[in-house]
Amino acid sequence: MSELVTGDAVVLGLRPAKLPSRALATAIDLILTGVVFGGVALGLAVAAGSLDDAAFAAVSVATFLLVPVGGPIAVETLSRGRSLGKLVCGLRVVRDDGGPIRFRHALVRGAMGVVELLMTLGVVAAVASLVSERGRRLGDVFAGTLVVRERVPAGRAVTVPPPPPWLVGRFASLDLSAVPDELWLAVRQYLTRMHQLDAAVGRAMSERLGREIVARTGVPAPAGVPAAAFLAAVVHERQARDARRAWQAAHAEELRGRAAGARFEGTPRPGGPGYGIPSPGAGKPGTLGSGAPVPEASPSGASASGAPGTRVPPYAAPPAPRPTGEGATPPATGFVPPV
């Protein structure tokens, strides 16, 4: 999956940053930039002591352009919108469509920041951020960027909305093995935050994510189905498959546990006949070597268990006594008496 979609997925779960958090992040960045600029300027002043005034002025201008202006631009470009102050405050600069910023966005923000932050001591940036609905300063407006919060409370997580009933089970035969986890995360994040997005932006994101799913599965979306409904149905199908696999794994584990327990119950216990240790009652008249009573033989030569020539195991329960006396019914032999 492209990094653009990953950026969209990350941003969909975030919210625009407010002025206090942005001011704190900017103050941290300005303090760090001032320290670096002072150190570089001091080093150049010592190294360029033999230069004339014109050369020293050129070096000073170059240092100003490289450190206070070029430094933030390079940091935001390389870190994809995370400076040290934004990293501390849990903020990030992204594009209006949710993707990560690039060099041109950072360049416009840095150039406007010289006017908004350095020349006016942040007054213009503060006023623009208060007036903007999403807290954007002029640099964000011209660059098409937005500062968002990356860290939000866990309790605000929203579940994925279910698909329309007429789409449930429609993609049961769809092959989802080629869809990576990053794309699933992107789709889930979009579905949980799609109602908070602008209608046009949300429609564009759903269509782009739908094309990614279609490219991975090789099956086009049904005609007339909105992209958001298609994504919800596909995610629902994947969740159903994951639930079935989890249930099958738990059921198989339960069966293995039962089989292991049955084998354990069938093994000879320590001190029993299987371990060569005489049991209580062994050697007494009327008992087997294990101490179990001797089964009574039937007239037909079969044992009390009913099977001819078999012996009752030592651990088997003794047979129930047969009724005796007058009127007692003789045991059935399986033969019809002669008439």
Give me the percent of the chain exceeding a pLDDT of 90.
7
- Radius of gyration (C-alpha) of the chain in whole angstroms: 41
How does residue 140 score in pLDDT terms, banded at 50, 70 and 90? very high
Angle at CA of residue 107, ends 104 and 113, nearest 5°: 145
pLDDT, tens only, 31-53: 998 888 888 878 877 776 667 77
Asked if 95 and 146 count as a contact pair (C-beta separation under 8 A), the reply is yes
SS3 content of the chain, % helix, strand, coil (to 5): 55, 5, 40
Residues 6+ apart with CB under 8 A from 70: 110
pTM of the model: 0.45
Give dist(CA 231, CA 1) in Å, integer: 16
* Predicted confidence (pLDDT) at residue 153 exceeds the cutoff of 80: no
In this structure, of 8-17, 236-245, 252-261, 270-279, the range with the lowest mean pLDDT score is: 270-279
pLDDT, tens only, 63-98: 877 888 888 899 999 988 888 899 888 898 988 877
Give dist(CA 167, CA 174) in Å, integer: 13
The pLDDT value given to residue 72: 87
* Predicted confidence (pLDDT) at residue 151 exceeds the cutoff of 50: yes
* Predicted confidence (pLDDT) at residue 162 exceeds the cutoff of 50: yes
Residue 275 phi/psi, 5-degree rounding, is -105, 5
Angle between helices 70-78 and 103-113 (to 10 degrees): 150
* Predicted confidence (pLDDT) at residue 156 exceeds the cutoff of 90: no
Average pLDDT, the chain: 75
Give me the percent of the chain exceeding a pLDDT of 70.
70
How does residue 268 score in pLDDT terms, banded at 50, 70 and 90? low
* Predicted confidence (pLDDT) at residue 243 exceeds the cutoff of 60: yes
Residue 160 per-residue DSSP state: P
The pLDDT value given to residue 49: 67
How does residue 104 score in pLDDT terms, banded at 50, 70 and 90? very high
Angle at CA of residue 20, ends 5 and 23, nearest 5°: 80
* Predicted confidence (pLDDT) at residue 222 exceeds the cutoff of 90: no
Here the tokens at position 65 are 């352009």
* Predicted confidence (pLDDT) at residue 28 exceeds the cutoff of 90: yes
The pLDDT value given to residue 9: 39
pLDDT, tens only, 167-208: 888 888 888 888 888 888 888 888 888 887 778 888 888 899
Give dist(CA 125, CA 206) in Å, integer: 33
Angle between helices 199-217 and 181-193 (to 10 degrees): 150
